[in-house]
Amino acid sequence: MNTENALIPDRPEINPFYVGGAVSPDKFSGRRSDINTALDVIGNRSCLAIQGSSGMGKSSLLQYIASSQEPWRNRGIDYSQALIVFINCWEITPFTAIGFWELVLSSLQQKAKDNLALQPVFEQTLGAGTYNIHQLRLLLAEIGKNNKFLLLLLDDFDAALYPNASYTEDEMRSFLSNFRSLATHGEEKDYLSVIVTSPKRLSEMGPKIEQGTSPWNNHYTYRYLKLFREEEVSRWFQDLAQKSSIDWLLNLQAEIQKISGGNPALIQNAGFILYRAWQDKDIKTVLDFAIEFERANRPYFRAAWNQSTDDEKSLLKFLALSRLEGRVNRKRKYTLDNVDTILSQKDRELRELEERGILRRYDNDEKINYEFASSIMEWWVVKELENSQNQPELAERELIFLNLSSKQVEQMKNITKQVWQYKDTAQSVIGWVGKLGGFF
């Protein structure tokens, strides 16, 4: 292992990379534009929906907004006026409207426990043990009289957008209608701001919109968390290297960006494994690292695949197969005509995959192109094809969806045939990771 440029500490230090959930506010990095958008919404007492796939930092962002006062001051917003209630909706098991209002109101009462003016109102309003939207409206009116407002941070709000055995479709419609009314009607709305997170757009979840009615979520500003750009990753690594005295980290930025695609959780995982390799010397080769990284993040890659629609999976397979040249059986060439033209016809699906952080869009010669954000995700899709029970040809439905010409169909069949035939000699995961700057 090459550690010539490393500043080795006198004693082992705690791994500076954070894995296994939301990043603590003191370690939160980046997302300046997203933070400013959230604070603008808070300042205007309006609503924001943050969309982001697994690992993009939705929970970390909400926790940072809830506990860090400096960005509030920078935007001219009085943090002390806010009664902040943070709820992960998946923790309401099973999700029900009654369970939601009870948790919101009991959490709000706890937040206001030191406010002598509000406590008698809470005791009177909630004394009967009844929790519903009417009680919250009464409390919001009193909160406003005390020059306060409620900031409701609802992580994983998608839990409220699917019925369950204790939460029928009609109950869901009623809950969402009340939730919309709370944020759009009455004087109380001036004392409330709501930020929700979800893995998909709110419009893609929840009950079907009936003719003649407005969407329950049309009062939300939308924001989707993007992958970190190279300059953001570089700035973050420079800051971390300086704080942790690990200068060798700066040499690995490009390769970590390649395998993580700029996904914050994947970056943290890569850094965590590399730091442990440097500190404990229990990971000695790039292959060791690649296997460890894929194993640690397998739930992410599997979820990204399983949560994709059939059409999205078809596009991912097509994109992976069209880029196989040099990846499988290096003596052979894999070519497919007019890939860009085919992809240009699927702009909506490609943009959905981009918003979920699976693909990255880039401009090349005035053309819009797409590639896998993470090289390991690309490898994972190829392995899905290789591991098919039967020869991994695209199904007839997929060929129709992709609108391939007869020549392209034959080319695609030839590529998939060779993928299957030479799968035992396919380039291992190490080839998709890169050299990691000579670290190993």
Q: Give me the CATH number covering residue 323.
A: 1.10.10
pTM of the model: 0.85
Residue 274 lies in a domain: no
| Sequence-ordered list of residues with C-beta below 8 angstroms from that of 277, at least 6 positions apart, any chain | 1, 283, 284, 288, 289, 439, 440
Of the chain, the end-to-end C-alpha distance in Å amounts to 4
Residues 188 and 308 in one domain: no
Residue 81 lies in a domain: yes
Q: Give how many domains the chain has, as a whole number.
A: 2
| Sequence-ordered list of residues with C-beta below 8 angstroms from that of 53, at least 6 positions apart, any chain | 199, 263, 304, 356, 357, 358
Of the three residues 197, 224, 251, the one that is the final residue of a domain is 224
Of the three residues 199, 224, 249, the one that is the final residue of a domain is 224
Residues 205 and 323 in one domain: no
Residue 289 lies in a domain: no
Work out the average pLDDT over 248-258.
85
pLDDT range class, residue 4, cuts 50, 70, 90: very low
Residues 208 and 332 in one domain: no
Report the pLDDT value the prediction gives residue 263, as an integer from 0 to 100.
Answer: 92
335 CB-contact burial (10 Å; exposed 0-12 / middle 13-18 / buried 19+)? exposed
Q: pLDDT of 377-429, one tens digit each? A: 988 888 887 776 555 566 666 766 777 777 777 777 777 766 666 555 555 67
Residues 329 and 207 in one domain: no
Residue 440 lies in a domain: no
Residue 293 lies in a domain: no
Residues 207 and 342 in one domain: no
- Domain of residue 175: give its range: 31-224
Residue 120 lies in a domain: yes
Residues 306 and 202 in one domain: no
Of the three residues 166, 194, 224, the one that is the final residue of a domain is 224
Q: Give me the CATH number covering residue 219.
A: 3.40.50.300
In a 3-state reduction of DSSP, which class is residue 328?
coil
More confident: 423 or 142: 142
How far apart (Å, rounded) are the C-alpha atoms in residues 338 and 351?
20
251 CB-contact burial (10 Å; exposed 0-12 / middle 13-18 / buried 19+)? middle
Residues 343 and 205 in one domain: no
Report the pLDDT value the prediction gives residue 35, as an integer from 0 to 100.
Answer: 95
pLDDT range class, residue 6, cuts 50, 70, 90: very low
Residue 143 lies in a domain: yes
Average pLDDT over the chain reads 83
Residues 73 and 186 in one domain: yes
Adjacent-strand bridge partners of 84: 151
Residue 417 lies in a domain: yes
